[in-house]
Structure 1
Amino acid sequence: MIFDVEHETMPREDLEKLQLRRLKALVERVYHNVPFYKKRLEEKGIRPGDINSLDDVRHLPFTEKQDLRNNYPYGLFAVNMENIVRIHSSSGTTGKATVVGYTHRDVRTWASLMGRCLNAAGVGPGDILHNAYGYGLFTGGLGAHYGAEAAGATVIPMSGGATRRQIMIIKDFMATAICCTPSYALHLAETAGELGIDFRKLPLKVGIFGAEPWSEAMRKDIEGKLNIKALDIYGLSEIMGPGVGIECAEAQNGLHMQEDHFLLEVIDPASGEPVQPGELGELVITTLTKEAIPLLRYRTRDLTRLETTPCRCGRTTARMMRVQGRSDDMLIIRGVNVFPQQIESILLDTDGLAPHYQLVVDRKGPMDTLTVRVEVSESVFSDEIKGLQSLEKKVQGAIKEFLGVTAAVKLVEPKGIERSMGKAQRIIDLRKEAK
């Protein structure tokens, strides 16, 4: 099911010509309408007429999340406020919120791109989408909502929270698709089991999961417990919201990126230089069509690689392979680089453990320490202490073998780790408190 055949299956040569036209227009627009970018471009000695090829994008300045915070709230807007019809923002838990705006055209574009994504997931007319992403300033809820309507599906605007009521509505309204975070999907399945409801017997056929990193092992866990196809969706509020890319239902092998609207680069996060095609690096996105708050070379901090080989679904856009981690949430434990998803994969491959965990980082003297708190399943919880100790050693050994780092493992009782209605808090860093 292809929503926009013209652009989703465009020959790469034609796509790159379109990208270059839009890149030139973008640089012209931000130079004349956003003082922040005019200053940055002039500092690098760049004028709009200097952009003559897609490779010239590397001469443009990077934009980082802190730049949005420094220009809070509207300093990076490229249009007058009377042309802004919508405002969203991040939670701002680590500083000032990042604020983004949308013109009428931006909202229509966003809905269309989310429509593409949902169609790629197999969602269309006749489907009922249960939307459990949060509504409000968070972009997830409204992004999925407008996309579902554009795709021709019926949308249930549930938002987050009220888990038991969510389960009742999923069952009674006969939802065929669901949008939420992957960790919340597992929480729904767990709670449904307590209520005597088997998700595997419901009409649900597909889940579109995003807003937090998740592993292939978690995908298999979700698919098994909900009897659905679990698809990864990608987006950032700074770039647009959800809908920047999604896996297709046919292949589930990388997220098709909307390259007619977003110019993609992968760079070495340390040097800022491009990596070789297909190599792992930090994803950088330039928004080619956004009117309200266009961004040049936005550093996402997401570590991934791009694949341009043809996909059997027929789409020709580059695919972003599963995000391996973030350059800003990588843990360095005694010189070893550790990403939460790596530990998650080990935990989910271990029998007797539940898919709920936290990584607690602390410092004892000059040394960093890592403690993995993970729930055991109900069946294992009743075992003898000796058996639980053996399971802890097994997990500790697997982490040491595969990641080369020594971690303490603490098994906790079922429901011992707090559930989240949105993004799961995977990392607790106590090192700042230890200073």
Structure 2
Amino acid sequence: MWNKIESSRREDLENIQLSRLKETLQRVYALTPFYREKFQEMGITPDDIISLKDIRKLPFTTKKDLRAHYPFGLFTVPMSEVVRVHSSSGTTGKPTVVGYTKSDMDVWDEVMARVFTMAGATAEDIVHNGYGYGLFTGGLGMHNGAEKVGATIVPASGGFTERQLLLMKDFGATIMALTPSFALHMAEVAKKAGADYLKDYKLKAGIFGAEPTSKGLKQEVREAWGIDYHEVYGLSEIIGPGVACSCKKSELLHVFEDHFFVEIIDPITGEEMPEGERGELVITPLTKQALPLLRYRTGDITSITKEPCKCGRTMLRMESIVGRADDMLIISGVNVYPSQIEHVIANAYGVTLNYQIVADKKGHLDKLEIHIEVSDEIMSDNISEMEKIKKNIQSALLNNLYINAIVKLVEPRSIERSLGKAVRIIDKRRENEQN
């Protein structure tokens, strides 16, 4: 283990959680008008929280609250104390912004060091990091964690499959860090290039995340590369990757409870779910300085158990995310809502808001098609005009939402209408998995 606290007695761990929760409550009440007003509306103060069970008295926080206070309205420190900013795309083009103090960065490095230690990483290892660098948290979160354990990090970032394969082979990478779908795609390309490609690589483990993963996909990755599979979970609003990770003894993910208090609620009623039953994951970071959020509703569906793991770690464990409480799509590790796509379409020339989103797989990679009806004023036989409209929309989707989508323009009134709620999403990935 990286830190002995990972095997703490539950009583000791809960004492740490309660102490840190009380500190966080005092912080947000004093420094965040948004939360202070919420507390006053509910008739509570931080002093009313005297046990961990009392957390149910606190208000929920949602992504909508972050967007309403864009960009820094929920920060509890001045920008002079913020050492890094990350963000994800927003519904109206404005991103969800998160900030980190030096203390926050130290915590992030700490939990990611635990992740890499679970994967067996030491100073002797070479980590190939295929997560994207930039405003998303994946690339840099992995980078700092690998450095924390002393491993050599190769900041390959995303894309450029053949080059990544070359780097992994020539540099002797022993651990890969990237999305599982891209790992399988790389395996397919490598296999085509050589009869026995596994002999060219020294990989022993992989750290995979950023997208929902079935047991079948995990097994395919294991078999394709002949490595241990470690799943990491996180989200930028809380810290980035590093909220939880699976070890060598179990596919369940250990939650780093000394930094994150988790709950499972009924996504409709908001009531607590019994241990072992699935519901929406709610997280309260306990040590965050720049952006401490209370009871953040992740929208992810999972379950938790307090049963200790054979590895010796005692922190509760969660199953892999099994779905979403809302209709968010995850395309190659990028979160996108239909409302975001609709916003792009609404600002485009020559099309209507009658559209359909089709998510599918091309091999092991996500594929997104958007079928959009053109307006009556557009002549469908004007090929150059249609091509210009299509390219403009594809460019807007890439620039605003960071997704590569295939746009198909169709005749007016050609998309089937529904008598009830419009069917905007066809996710063939789920259909294929169920079949």
The two structures have a TM-score, normalised by structure 1, of 0.77
* Residues 1:43 and 1:363: Cα distance change in structure 2 (over 3 Å): farther
How do residues 33-432 of structure 1 correspond to structure 2 at under 5 angstroms?
Answer: 33-92=31-90, 95-196=93-194, 198-201=196-199, 202-249=201-248, 251-329=249-327, 354-356=363-365, 363-366=416-419, 368=423, 399=434
In 2, the alpha carbon distance for the partners of 1:360 and 1:59 equals 43
- Per-residue CA deviation, residues 239-296 of structure 1 (Å, 9 max, x unaligned), is 00001100002x1321001100001100000000101111100000001000000000
Match for 2:64: what amino acid?
A: Q
Whether contact under 8 Å (1:268, 1:275) holds in the other structure is: yes
Kindly tell me the number of residue pairs found equivalent between the two proteins: 357
Identity of aligned residues (%): 51
* Residues 1:283 and 1:120: Cα distance change in structure 2 (over 3 Å): same
3-state SS of 2:20 partner: helix
Structure 2 residues not aligned, in runs of 5+? 330-359, 371-414
Whether contact under 8 Å (1:359, 1:372) holds in the other structure is: no
3-state SS of 1:142 partner: helix
3-state SS of 1:146 partner: helix
- Per-residue CA deviation, residues 39-87 of structure 1 (Å, 9 max, x unaligned), is 1111111111111000110110000011111100000001111111111
In 1, the alpha carbon distance for the partners of 2:364 and 2:155 equals 27
* Residues 1:137 and 1:330: Cα distance change in structure 2 (over 3 Å): closer
Match for 1:216: what amino acid?
A: K
Whether contact under 8 Å (1:129, 1:148) holds in the other structure is: yes
C-alpha RMSD of the superposition: 2.4
What corresponds to 2:352 in structure 1? none
What corresponds to 1:421 in structure 2? none
In 2, the alpha carbon distance for the partners of 1:370 and 1:32 equals 43
In 2, the alpha carbon distance for the partners of 1:316 and 1:212 equals 26
* Residues 1:306 and 1:78: Cα distance change in structure 2 (over 3 Å): same
* Residues 1:31 and 1:197: Cα distance change in structure 2 (over 3 Å): farther
Match for 1:286: what amino acid?
A: T
What corresponds to 1:407 in structure 2? none
Whether contact under 8 Å (1:254, 1:321) holds in the other structure is: yes
- Per-residue CA deviation, residues 343-372 of structure 1 (Å, 9 max, x unaligned), is xxxx99xxxx95456698975443759867
What corresponds to 1:20 in structure 2? 18
Whether contact under 8 Å (1:131, 1:141) holds in the other structure is: yes
